[in-house]
């Protein structure tokens, strides 16, 4: 029986069709598979921003993600705290991120701030309860469910330089067991470096004294440690920001000035061309008028000369006619005198014929 089974096994092995591997097969490719799967699925990140109105929450979000988010202006006269969640689909290279920013509108603007934190606590608890209800379903669809739980809370602290407000301490104390709190000193470039360092020490001592647990960044992770070292080593004061803005403005101004200069030079060249064309046209017209004037003058001179010649001829003829007329009158006078002499007798008028 054993011999027959071995023969059958050998015959089956001979009839089997060999397949070649299209790639490497092994558990060492599991990290790459995990990265590819996560990249294809995308990531979800929810941020809660807590701070007073106008403290710079929206500006920091725009800077962190290098995107101009649609931010509505908030009023300082809200009757109560409102939480406004906005979701955006971002992509960098081949990594997709579904970002949700939850902003606290009107936080700390009320006269009675005793219940300001309660709306934030209720919102966080609601997100936990919604996710729990999704998990407790018989037929769960967590792969398509949008997880709205808060991953990190950025708590913006006013740069007063003195100490934390009572509202800040109470709010962070209520939230430290529900979410990762990251305190952020807003508009830190408005105070000096030494004052900022003292303010940080004072804030940390107050948080420790009041038992507030904040998020501790991992120090054993080499990547995070390198990033923290490089970020902490950079100077980000108001002077550097102002200088960068000034340089950007100067470059933009020089660019515009060069564009205006080029435009001005182009217009000057066009105007010079127009003036030269007009000058050539005027010169041509002047030469034409000059020739016409010369021709007219020549004609008038010839006509004047002809008239002068005719006038001289007429004068000569007139003089000859007057001379002939004078001679005629003179001859007639002599003839008449001779006739008159012949008619008068030759005797003395005073002698008496009878005497």
Domain of 161, CATH number, reads 3.40.50.300
Of 223, 246, 268, the last residue of a domain is 223
Of 223, 247, 278, the last residue of a domain is 223
Count CB-CB contacts under 10 A for residue 116. Answer: 20
What confidence tier does 234 reach under pLDDT thresholds 50, 70, 90? low
Residues 193 and 239 in one domain: no
In a domain, 286, yes or no: yes
Residues 203 and 249 in one domain: no
Q: What are phi and psi of 43, to 5 degrees?
A: -120, 155
Q: What is the domain range of residue 86?
A: 40-223
Beta-carbon contacts of 188 under 8 Å, excluding residues fewer than 6 positions away, are 159, 196, 236
Residues 249 and 170 in one domain: no
Residues 185 and 292 in one domain: no
Least confident of 133-147, 219-233, 273-287, 293-307: 219-233
pLDDT in tens, 264-310: 999 999 999 999 999 999 999 999 999 999 999 999 999 999 999 99
In a domain, 230, yes or no: no
- CA neighbor of 105 nearest in space, from 160, 58, 46, 163: 58
pLDDT of residue 355: 43
95 burial class (0-12, 13-18, 19+ CB within 10 angstroms)?
A: exposed
pLDDT of residue 66: 83
DSSP SS3 for 137: coil
> Structurally, how many domains does the chain consist of?
2
pLDDT of residue 288: 92
Pair 157, 183: CB distance under 8 Å = yes
How far CA 35 is from CA of 38, 55, 283, in Å, comes to 5, 38, 82
Residues 255 and 280 in one domain: yes
Q: What percent of the chain has pLDDT over 90?
A: 22
In a domain, 9, yes or no: no
pLDDT in tens, 88-124: 888 888 888 889 999 888 887 777 777 788 889 999 9
Average pLDDT over residues 193-217: 87
Least confident of 5-9, 32-36, 125-129, 256-260: 5-9
Would strands 82-92 and 95-105 be described as parallel, antiparallel, or unpaired? antiparallel
What confidence tier does 9 reach under pLDDT thresholds 50, 70, 90? low
Residues 70 and 219 in one domain: yes
Residues 205 and 291 in one domain: no
């Amino acid at each position: 029986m054993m011999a027959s089974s071995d023969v059958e096994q050998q015959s089956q092995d001979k009839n089997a069709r060999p397949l070649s591997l299209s790639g490497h097969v092994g558990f060492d490719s599991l990290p790459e598979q995990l990265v590819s799967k996560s990249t294809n699925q995308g990531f979800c990140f929810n941020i809660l921003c807590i701070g007073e109105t106008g403290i710079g929450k929206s500006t920091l979000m725009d800077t962190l993600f290098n995107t101009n988010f649609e931010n509505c202006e908030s009023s300082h006269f809200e009757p109560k705290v409102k939480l406004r969640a906005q979701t955006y689909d971002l992509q960098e290279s081949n990594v997709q991120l579904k970002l949700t920013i939850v902003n606290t509108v009107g936080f700390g603007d009320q006269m009675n701030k005793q219940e300001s934190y309660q709306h934030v606590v209720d919102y966080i608890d609601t997100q936990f309860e919604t996710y729990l209800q999704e998990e407790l379903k018989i037929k769960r669809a967590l792969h398509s469910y949008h997880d709205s739980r808060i991953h990190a809370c950025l708590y913006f602290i006013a740069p007063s330089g003195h100490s934390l407000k009572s509202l800040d301490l109470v709010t962070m104390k209520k939230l430290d067991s529900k979410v990762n709190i990251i305190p952020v000193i807003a508009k830190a470039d408005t105070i000096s470096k030494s004052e900022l360092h003292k303010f940080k020490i004072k804030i940390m001592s107050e948080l420790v004294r009041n038992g507030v647990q904040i998020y501790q960044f991992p120090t054993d992770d080499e990547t995070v440690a390198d990033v923290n070292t490089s970020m902490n080593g950079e100077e980000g004061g108001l002077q550097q920001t102002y200088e960068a803005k000034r340089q950007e403005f100067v470059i933009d101004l020089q660019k515009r000035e060069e564009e205006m200069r080029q435009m001005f030079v182009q217009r000057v060249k066009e105007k010079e061309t127009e003036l030269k064309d007009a000058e050539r046209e005027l010169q041509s017209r002047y030469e034409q008028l000059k020739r016409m004037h010369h021709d007219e003058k020549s004609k008038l001179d010839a006509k004047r000369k002809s008239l002068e010649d005719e006038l001289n001829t007429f004068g000569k003829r007139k003089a000859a006619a007057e001379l002939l007329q004078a001679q005629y009158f003179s001859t007639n006078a002599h003839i008449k005198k001779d006739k008159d002499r012949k008619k008068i007798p030759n005797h003395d008028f005073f002698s008496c014929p009878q005497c």
